[in-house]
Amino acid sequence: MIPESLQRRRPLRHVAFAALCLVMPHAWGYGDEPATRALPADVQAEVTAIAEHLSKVGDPSPALTCDKAVENARWGVETMLEVAGKNLRSGYLSQADHDAAAPQLKALLAVLTTDDCAAATGERRAFYQCMSSDYNHVYACGKAHPFDP
C-alpha cells in the first residue's frame, strides 16, 4: 500500500516509490502483510542509507542521449523487478507489497523505448535526460521528473 501522502502525486512518482519499496522493503516498514524475515539493525541502517542515496539525482543536467537513457532506465527497472523477486522468495518482501508495485514497474518498462524518448517533451523528456547519465538512478529521475507512463 502506497502512503496517502504519495497517492496525490503524479503517476510516475507512484511507480518510482513502488520501485524503491520493491528493492528495499524495510526502508519504510509499511504494508498490509508483514514480510516473514526482518533485517538485522546494522543491515537495516545500510538499506535506509542506500535508499536515501538512490533518491537523489547525482548528475542534474546530462545531455539527452536516448539510447543511453533507455538502456539505463530499462536496466534499472529490470534490476528492481529481479531484486524484488529475490526479496519476495527470501521472505524480506510481502506478497501484497510485491503485487501492488510490480505491475506499475512492468507498465513503465513497456513504454521505455528510444521512440518514446525521441518524441518526449516536458517532464518525460526531462526524465530521459536525467537517465542519460550513468550516475542517476531510475528512482531518483522518476521522483524528480514525474510523468504519466
Cell of 86: 529475490
Closest CA to 126 of 135, 117, 134: 117
C-alpha cell at 71: 538502456
- Could you read off the pLDDT of 4-21 as tens digits, one per residue? 443 333 445 445 545 555
> Residue by residue, what is the 3-state secondary structure of 62-110?
CCCCHHHHHHHHHHHHHHHHHHHHHHHHHCCCCHHHHHHHHHHHHHHHH
Question: Higher-confidence residue: 92 or 63?
Answer: 63
Q: How many CB atoms lie within 10 A of CB 61?
A: 11
22 and 97 Cβ atoms separated by less than 8 Å: yes
Which of 31-35, 79-83, 110-114 is predicted least confidently? 31-35
- Return all residues near 21 (Cβ < 8 A) that are at least 6 apart: 27, 28, 30, 97, 101
Which segment, 8-12, 44-48, 50-54, 105-109, is predicted with the most confidence on average? 105-109
The whole-model pTM stands at 0.74
Q: What are the residue boundaries of the structural domains of the chain, listed by start?
A: 4-144
